[in-house]
Amino acid sequence: MNLNIQMVDTKSQFLKIKEEIYKGFEEVFESSQFINGKQVKEFTEALKSFTRAKHIIPCANGTDAIQVALMALGLEPGDEVIVPTWTYVATAEVIALLKLKPIFIDADYNTFNIDVNKIEEKITSKTKAIVPVHLYGQTCEMEKIMELAKKYNLFVVEDTAQAIGSEYTFSDGAVKQAGTIGNIGTTSFYPSKNLGAYGDGGAIYTNDDDLAVRLKGICHHGELGVKYYHDIVGCNSRLDTLQAVILNAKIKRLKDYETSRNEVADFYDNALKEMDWIETPFRSKNSTHVFHQYTMKIKNGQREALKTYLQEKEIPSMIYYPMPLHFQKAYAMHYNASYDLSISEKLSKEVLSLPIHTEMTESQLHYIVETIKNF
Ligand SMILES: *Cc1c(COP(=O)(O)O)cnc(C)c1O
């Protein structure tokens, strides 16, 4: 059976918006405004209205976005930054790169996000920031995180690379989008992300006017206003105009893309819920899910065997992630054996993500769940 199932099918999605993108590319080539062209400004405005953030600063990728965010906060080497151990490496990498100290916190077994009940015990006089990651498409318990940040005077930088569009509801009924709750939010337009470019891209969100000036300046070699006058040390991080063309075409469709992903997730949930050895993704009551990943827990110790079986049947699946960060060679020195990070260790043995994207067909979905049932 060749159903050409892929984890993410960017090609089929492209074919539906091809004309618009080619036309946009032509305009960029004709104008030769490859850097900071008008399409970048248009995208910045579109992302502003989509997220309801006061300021959007586009940049080169999602890793830079986190790095620039941390640079803007004026932290000192040795300052401690709280981060989940259950995340993609980029989040902790930039912390280490800036000579800050990552303090790893375990995951919540249900949501996969940072366990907010394990943060306070790790806060010291050196703690300066919390970097929650909205993993797989669901917002962390931001109400609790913001309470802790307020109590201990900490900055909050939200890594929203996997959760663009996820909406979080506070207990007073206020609704905010992931990335717009803390001091700064960051996201990635890596091709497989929910809003993916055809190359690298990223963005930084903030509602703070002063931080916006610093963030923008840091992305442009530390220029805070006047060209060729550099007030702080920055870097070079820009979203190029061609990528903005693609993002302009896709951001208009992002809500529809989110709906398609949720339909796939609902289908999997219904089909797999009766299988007692599979735990389908938990739906947090305070957050919508944008399903960057559909991540199950395989409870019978057969995760590897299931993955191999699916592979034989031409169904890809992925393990996000095979090893929590505190076990990685580059980060193990920041891990202290007194830390209890056992949930993340357990997750690394149980998680399996199924194909999920905007172009999945009924026959693909039926084939995937039937194959799993026959395992
Ligand atoms: C993809 C991702 C990043 C990094 O984004 P890039 O654009 O690839 O640099 C950071 N954090 C998380 C959680 C991600 O999934």
Using CB distances shorter than 6 Å, the residues near ligand 1 are 61-63, 87-88, 90-91, 133, 159, 161-162, 188, 190, 200, 202
Residues 98 and 223 in one domain: yes
Which ligand 1 atom lies nearest to the CA of residue 201? 7
Domain end, chosen from 223, 251, 279, is at 251
| Dist CA 51 CA 219 (whole Å) | 21
Residues 240 and 282 in one domain: no
The residue type at 215: L
The average pLDDT across 176-181 equals 98
Residues 20 and 122 in one domain: yes
Residues 49 and 152 in one domain: yes
Residues 330 and 369 in one domain: yes
Question: Tell me: the pLDDT tens digits for 56-87?
Answer: 999 999 999 999 999 999 999 999 999 999 99
% of the chain with per-residue pLDDT over 90: 97
Residues 173 and 266 in one domain: no
222: Cβ contacts below 8 Å, ≥ 6 apart: 230, 231, 232, 233, 234
Q: Is residue 360 part of a domain?
A: yes
When the pLDDT of each residue in the chain is averaged and rounded to a whole number, the result is 97
Strand locations in the chain, DSSP E? 55-59, 80-84, 101-105, 127-130, 155-159, 167-169, 175-177, 184-188, 202-206, 278-279, 294-298, 351-354
| pLDDT for 107 | 98
Question: Tell me: the pLDDT tens digits for 139-166?
Answer: 999 999 999 999 999 999 999 999 999 9
Domain end, chosen from 251, 277, 308, is at 251
The range of the structural domain enclosing residue 282 comes to 254-373
Residues 18 and 85 in one domain: yes
Domain end, chosen from 231, 251, 271, is at 251
Check pLDDT > 90 for residue 2. Answer: no
Q: What is the DSSP letter of 230?
A: B
For the chain, how many structural domains are there in total?
2
Q: What is the CATH number of the domain that holds 343?
A: 3.90.1150.10
Residues 266 and 128 in one domain: no
| Dist CA 65 CA 67 (whole Å) | 5
Residues 79 and 97 in one domain: yes
Q: What is the DSSP letter of 107?
A: B
Rounded to the nearest angstrom, the distance between the alpha carbon of 188 and the centre of ligand 1 is 6
Q: Is residue 2 part of a domain?
A: no
Per the document, the length of the chain is 375
291: Cβ contacts below 8 Å, ≥ 6 apart: 136, 137, 258, 261, 262, 264, 265, 281, 356
Q: What is the CATH number of the domain that holds 87?
A: 3.40.640.10
| pLDDT for 1 | 63
Which ligand 1 atom lies nearest to the CA of residue 90? 10
